[in-house]
Amino acid sequence: MRVTLSADGPRLNLAPATRPPGQYAVRVRVELAGLCRSDLKEVRGDRHGVGQFGHELVGVIEESTFPDLPPGHRVTLDPNVPVERGTGFATDMWVAGSAIHLAAALPSLPPRVDARRLVFTEPLACAQHCLSAVSRHLGSDLSGRRVGVLGAGIAGVLIAVLARTLNAVVVLGNRSEDRASFVRASGILDAPIRLTESLPIDTLDVAVVATSFVRADILRQALRVIAPGGLVLLYGGTAPGDRLPGLDCDLDATRRSETSVATMWRGKPVRVGGSYGTVPSDFTAAVRALTRQPTLRVERLITREVRLANLPSVLQQQSTRRALGKTLVHT
């Protein structure tokens, strides 16, 4: 059983998953999956780039033709590796490809850690990659840096939490009070959580735009609060050709190439940089954080747990209505 996307929206498919073509293949029994904002973008049809529907998961290999990934091996998924696969919103998911790609696409997970914790591995790896990109664009680590994260969804919260572990001086901003209040109540972040419009002008060394999309209004806010010479980091989604009038920067090209551009915003020198995807070391760091940092209380972000059979209706609801926290899918 699996949930797939059709022209009419998400549908429950009861037919067994079939093995895709590839040099090697493994069949993963999915223990638990997480619903990501990019899944909702795909349901709405407004996500650009390669589809990644159903990519946050914890699973156990049950069938394999690849010796390095034997049956019984617990894994998660790196959706940025080029392999052939089915959806992770399923009882079973096939993944096929070359030896090097298959090994990279299915990072190992420890066997005796709660799946409700490990399901955050992929989003935490993305947060790790974002902060590594920030350090690279700055040419230094984040210790003592004033870092603002704009957007208090799951991605923004995880970026802010990791930045605190790197000794950055963090503030989390959000456009609306409901999400800010939710994060405060969760107790997951030891840092100020404020409305974005209340952040003071010209005060941050780094402003990470972690909203679902890099929209003009939130990008203007990031440019308003950044100090002269500071870095605006594009993490949220962009589309080809995206630009902000008055800012000399191709937003989509900068984000996807993970480059940085020195430019001006209303007479203020700024840098705009990008973060896109993950690399294997991000997953290693994410698993280390989840297994060795008990104070990283990611489970506090879980607000809903549903059965796979009910997922199509949940996807339809959450693609049109605002949802707080993380939804988990039990298979």
Is pLDDT of 318 > 80?
A: yes
Q: Are 234 and 274 in contact (CB under 8 A)?
A: yes
Section 136-164 average pLDDT: 97
pLDDT of residue 227: 98
Does position 49 have pLDDT exceeding 70, yes or no?
Answer: no
Hey, is 177 helix, strand or coil?
helix
How far apart (Å, rounded) are the C-alpha atoms in residues 41 and 28?
Answer: 25
% of the chain at pLDDT higher than 70: 99
For residues 229-242, give the mean pLDDT: 96
For residues 10 and 314, the answer to whether their CB atoms sit within 8 Å is no
Q: Which amino acid is at 219?
A: L
Percent of the chain with pLDDT over 90: 89
Q: Which range (49-63, 83-97, 163-177, 258-272) has the least confidence?
A: 49-63
The CATH homologous superfamily for domain 122-274 is NAD(P)-binding Rossmann-like Domain (3.40.50.720)
Mean pLDDT of the chain: 95
Q: Is the pLDDT of residue 145 over 70?
A: yes
Q: Within 13 Å and on the Cβ side, how many CA atoms surround 305?
A: 11
**Cα 8–chain centre separation:** 26
Write out the residue limits of the CATH 3.90.180.10 domain(s) in the chain: 2-119+297-330
Q: Scanning the structure block, which residue is given the tokens 């705009």?
A: 272
| 204 CB-side CA count, 13 A | 28
CA angle (142 as vertex; 137, 144 as ends), nearest 5? 135
Q: Is the pLDDT at 56 greater than 70, yes or no? A: yes
* Alpha helices per DSSP H over 35-138: 37-44, 99-105, 115-118, 121-138
Q: How far apart are CA 121 and CA 76, in angstroms?
A: 7
Overall CATH class of domain 2-119+297-330:
alpha beta
Q: Which two tokens stand for residue 33?
A: 């999956």
**pLDDT of 139 higher than 80:** yes
Which tokens belong to 237? 């989604």
CA dist., res. 101 & res. 239, Å (int): 27
Q: Enter the pTM of the model.
A: 0.94
Among 137, 186, 145, 188, CA closest to 163: 145
Segment 102-111, tens digit of pLDDT: 999 999 999 9
Q: In the prediction, which pLDDT does 322 show?
A: 83
Pick from 33, 5, 18: nearest CA to 308: 33
**Gap between the Cα atoms of 3 and 75, Å rounded:** 20
CB 231 within 8 A of CB 130: no
Residue 8: predicted pLDDT: 83
Instruction: Please give the C-alpha separations between residue 281 and each of 99, 278, 305, in angstroms, as whole numbers.
Output: 18, 8, 29
Q: Does 256 score more than 90 pLDDT?
A: yes
- Span(s) in the chain for CATH 3.40.50.720: 122-274
**What's the rounded Cα separation, in Å, for the pair 114 and 99?**
28
Q: Output the pLDDT for position 321.
A: 84
Q: Is it the case that residue 79 has pLDDT exceeding 80?
A: yes
How many other CB atoms are there within 10 angstroms of residue 30's CB atom?
Answer: 25
Closest listed residue to residue 200, CA positions, set 146, 163, 251, 153: 146
Residue 183's pLDDT is 97
**Given the DSSP bridges, would you call strands 302-307 and 2-6 parallel, antiparallel or unpaired?**
unpaired
